Amino acid sequence: MISVQKFLNVKSQQLAYFVRAFWNNRIVYKELDLYFWDTMEEWSQVSHLADHPCSQQERVFWYVLHQLHFWPEKTLREDSNLRNDLDLCVNFLESEDEYPFPYEYLGSRP
């Protein structure tokens, strides 16, 4: 079993890559959806405590992942407000030291 933090360190960077690749037409929506399901399966193998508080990174990670699964492909590509929101989150996931924590975008563990 891996720790929550190790999981997040790897998966946050992957998530950022997948979102940007999707927006830049380097991957298709189906791959984004597969990434979601693979991530959920991997999460089931993570050693985590239900009462352990979530980090800022984790809250943003789950928010982005949920949005990618919730919205249809067309909305993810064309809704400029959604894209701007997700871009703020992805920037934070890529480099927490350089970008402020986006307080309004908080997800929770599945």
Backbone CA torsion sign across 29, 106, 52, 93: positive
pTM score, whole prediction: 0.90
* Residue range 64-76, pLDDT digits in tens: 999 999 999 999 9
* Residue range 15-39, pLDDT digits in tens: 999 999 999 999 999 999 999 999 9
Backbone CA torsion sign across 9, 63, 3, 54: positive
What is the 3-class SS of 59-105, one letter each residue?
Answer: HHHHHHHHHHHHCCHHHHHHCHHHHHHHHHHHHHHHCCCCCCCCCCC
> Any idea which residue has 């959604």 for tokens?
82
